[in-house]
Amino acid sequence: MKQNLFVYNTLSRKKEEFIPIDPSHVGMYVCGPTVYSDVHLGNCRTYISFDLIFRYLTHIGYKVRYVRNITDAGHLEGDAGDEGEDKISKKAKLAQLEPMEIVQKYTVGFHDVLEIFNLLPPSIEPTATGHIIEQIELVKEILAKGLAYEVDGSVYFDVEKYNKTQDYGILNGRNLEDMLNNTRNLGGQEDKRGKLDFALWIKAKPEHLMKWPSPWSVGFPGWHLECSAMSHKYLGDQFDIHGGGIDLMPTHHTNEIAQNIACCGKNPANYWIHTNMLTVNGQKMSKSLGNSFLPHELFTGNHSILERGYSPMTVRFFMLQAHYRSTLDFGNEAMEASEKGFKRLMTSVGLLDNLKAAAVTEVEVEPMMQRCYAAMNDDFNSPVLIAELFEASRIINSINDGKLKIDANNLQLLKNMIHLFVFDILGLKDEQAANDDLPKLLNFLIGLRSEAKSSHDYATSDKIRDGLQKIGFQLKDSKDGTNWSKI
């Protein structure tokens, strides 16, 4: 099954068979968040898509080195990310905090959210500020190749010169002239020789907070350079997969490729994978458009466009019901449908353990399993996979109702298939099971406490009450017994 995975490659604009450089290892780099604010649901969609890819590649036997960076400096506000104020510094000034306090706060928040959505951590999570030396080295190499120039302490990449020997538009499929004609002349770019040139190193203004010494000035690296430096350091001159949201493709990734080719002579990644956008009423969800909402607002329903809240696994399921390359429009109705679908799936999964094997079988699981693999091998097609799992869930219900017979072998295979695809590959969790356990556990503790009380062991009964209070549960005694509530 490993042999015939097909992946859509933005570089060639078609699905290609996935053949890694090393037959047993995969190197994958995904652009991480700029940690200056809470991640919104759109960002989560991209990371959930790569989590699915990471999980599947690992399942089919590859040792995957998954590098996802944290951008903690150098991402400026302008369209191309290299004009205006540094997003993190700006936030730090507004909040009267150290930039690193901002970075810490939102990095922790990012990790918390991804954990709630049950994402696996990447193998390496490098930060831009931890790799300033590597970035300075790259700038030196690009300068030495004659493809960058210095003006007053800042260094810029010379796109037009580079394009004389290379194809700058290799990823976005556009030619240079078209790009030049369709790029606005932005203010504050007088130092750049060409409209498309971008900063590799930026001299810091005196008030700038995060800056480092370099051969050119006390300054900071350009955003595009960070990813080139970190992917190169951990995955080498050339690796298998580079990913990110499709919005990063026209500029950020185009510039990353130019930098890597300029210094190492190679396009860094063989397969460029881009996820499509989560939209709201057809518009990209983004912080600057004001249509974004945060995961916890979705869980609680506390947002003007939400009719009510939805659980994290419902949201993950909703995301996975769309293919990662399609846009996905957020809506209350769509969420409700996903909630129903997810519950239906989980209910049948819950029946699996009670199913009885028969001596004969009317269900052949092997072909179902093959169809699940075929869906994933076709460019990680999770909606088709989920349709197959719904079919499996109908079969489980029929077996449970005594309308279909399954033998022991097929039953075991069915259980394996469901656990593999639902939990390991789609990364879903049965929230209901976890919720059911909690009241049982609390009632057990309440029972222990009343036993202690009736034998006048008040030290133990108080310990139980106070201990629960500390972890967020309040016990209330009444003449009918003891109730608990979440604080």
Q: How many residues bind ligand AMP (CB under 6 A)?
A: 17
Between strands 25-30 and 239-245, the pairing is parallel
Report the nearest approach of Zn ion to the CB of residue 428 (Å): 28
Dihedral angle at the C-alpha atoms of 167, 69, 291, 295, nearest 10 degrees?
A: 150
Taking the C-alpha atoms of residue 34 and residue 36, their distance in angstroms, rounded to an integer, is 6
Q: Does the protein bind Zn ion through residue 31 (CB under 5 A)?
A: yes
Q: Does the protein bind Zn ion through residue 5 (CB under 5 A)?
A: no
Token pair recorded at residue 250: 């026209």
131/252 with CB nearer ligand AMP: 252
The answer to whether residues 412 and 353 touch, using CB atoms and an 8 Å cutoff, is no
Written as one string, the DSSP assignment of 208-249 is: -SS-B--SS-SEEE-HHHHHHHHHHHHH-SSEEEEEEEGGGI
80/376 with CB nearer Zn ion: 80
Q: Does the protein bind ligand AMP through residue 323 (CB under 6 A)?
A: no
Tell me the window of 112-120, 132-140, 243-251, 391-399 that interacts with ligand AMP (CB under 6 A): 243-251
CB burial of residue 85 (10 Å; 0-12, 13-18, 19+): middle
Three-class secondary structure of residue 67 per DSSP? strand
227/285 with CB nearer Zn ion: 227
- Residue 211 contacts which entry, Zn ion, ligand AMP, none (Cβ below 5-8 A, type-dependent): none
Which residue is listed with tokens 């930039």? Answer: 99
The mark string for 279-318 relative to ligand AMP (x by CB under 6 A, - otherwise) is: -----xxx--------------------------------
- Residue 247 contacts which entry, ligand AMP, Zn ion, none (Cβ below 5-8 A, type-dependent): ligand AMP
Q: What are phi and psi of 221, to 5 degrees?
A: -80, 160
- Residue 321 contacts which entry, ligand AMP, Zn ion, none (Cβ below 5-8 A, type-dependent): none
Report the nearest approach of ligand AMP to the CB of residue 322 (Å): 11
Q: Does the protein bind Zn ion through residue 35 (CB under 5 A)?
A: no
Q: 206 Cβ partners below 8 Å, 6+ apart?
A: none
Tell me the window of 98-106, 153-161, 273-281, 310-318 that interacts with ligand AMP (CB under 6 A): 273-281
- CA 332 to chain CA centroid, nearest Å: 22
- Residue 227 contacts which entry, ligand AMP, Zn ion, none (Cβ below 5-8 A, type-dependent): Zn ion
Tell me the window of 7-15, 258-266, 270-278, 363-371 that interacts with ligand AMP (CB under 6 A): 270-278
Q: Is 153 left (phi over 0), alpha (psi -120 to 50) or beta?
A: left
Residues that bind ligand AMP (CB under 6 A): 31, 33-34, 42-43, 45-46, 244-245, 247-248, 275, 277-278, 284-286
